[in-house]
Amino acid sequence: MLNGTVDIMSEDEQLSHYEGTEKLLEVWFRPIERGEKGDGGGASDLRSIPSEELKKLMTLVKCEIVSVLKDEHQTAYILSESSMFVSKTRFILKTCGTTLLLEALQELFRLAKEHCNYEVEDMFYSRKNFLRPELQHNPHKTFEKEVERLDKIFDCGAAYVLGRMNGECWYLYTLDRMNVVQQPDQTLEILMTQLDEDVMKHFEDTEGKKGSDVTKASGIDKILPAAKIDEQLFKPCGYSMNGLLPNNQYVTIHVTPQAEFSYVSFETNVEKEDFSGLVQKVIETFKPGRFVMTLFANEFAKCGSSFQALKETFLVSYKRQDKQYSQFKNYNLTFGNYIKER
């Protein structure tokens, strides 16, 4: 690491093609009832899993921990490929490139049982369609292969695709059971491509730059100004940011700036009744040519219906190609696909 800049991949590897699109895993855990499956004896907090065990877990995924940020509710890790968040009962892993995210599942469950006496309460795996799926390793070459792998682990899985099978789409695998996370839970993702070249210049030629300066110059610090931020620049280009907010809330941003395959992801679980203002800030900051957006919300979420919480105020500059609403047992989901008006 040099001046907050991390050298993870060679310049040739970065410039030929880099898949910015992430694979996203979110798992909620609950204590195992005593007498059912063994006591386990561990502390009921995922943060009690030793850091060395988490490092080993990341080797299965083919990435590494670069930086750590903590508050009283959660620990945020910047990875060589995206981010990880660990709180008392929630584990989030988000990895890009050709990482093998699903290789972490069985070991994660073992660690949660051994150190926390936990079992899975609910689970979500999702991703946008890849730009170059043929460069991925199995099972990530196709969503069908990912579903096959997940079905071997879970006996109550449900797989979905939203959007256009011959265009921009978004895949989801979740559990089809009545377990309910007994707290407000909402997740907004904005996955952007065809980014503005002037905006992307902030994240190129990172040698000698400071991550904090790039955060301010790009306007990222103004999107959720209350966030406590940890950022990293990568050589020769690229940027990752984790932000922690009160009450177990977070924000994470990842930037792949190369013009041929530019990509930016924004994700947060902040509680809002209306997300349209936040969405407006994000797209005004990065100026994407097109973007896919999803909002998950459970019955305790402040926003209520995800469909009503996304008012599409940006349609003066963007054209909607698709918008879909789905109702699951415990969550509702709104998906949208948008392209800039020319």
- List the catalytic residues: 19, 22, 82, 96, 240, 254
| 3-state class (DSSP) for residue 247 | coil
With contact defined as beta carbons under 8 Å apart, do 265 and 189 qualify? yes
Residue with tokens 């069908």: 144
C-alpha count within 13 angstroms, C-beta hemisphere, residue 30: 13
| 3-state class (DSSP) for residue 157 | strand
**β-pairing verdict for 263-268 and 249-256:** antiparallel
With contact defined as beta carbons under 8 Å apart, do 331 and 339 qualify? no
**β-pairing verdict for 228-235 and 5-7:** parallel
State the Cα–Cα distance between residues 130 and 300, nearest whole angstrom.
32
CA 172 to chain centre: 13
CA 55 to chain centre: 19
State the Cα–Cα distance between residues 194 and 288, nearest whole angstrom.
6
With contact defined as beta carbons under 8 Å apart, do 268 and 187 qualify? yes
**Which residues are CB-contacts of 318 (< 8 A; sequence separation ≥ 6)?**
283, 291, 338, 339, 340, 341
Residue with tokens 């990435």: 63
| 3-state class (DSSP) for residue 117 | coil
The count of other CB atoms within 10 Å of the CB of residue 72 is 8
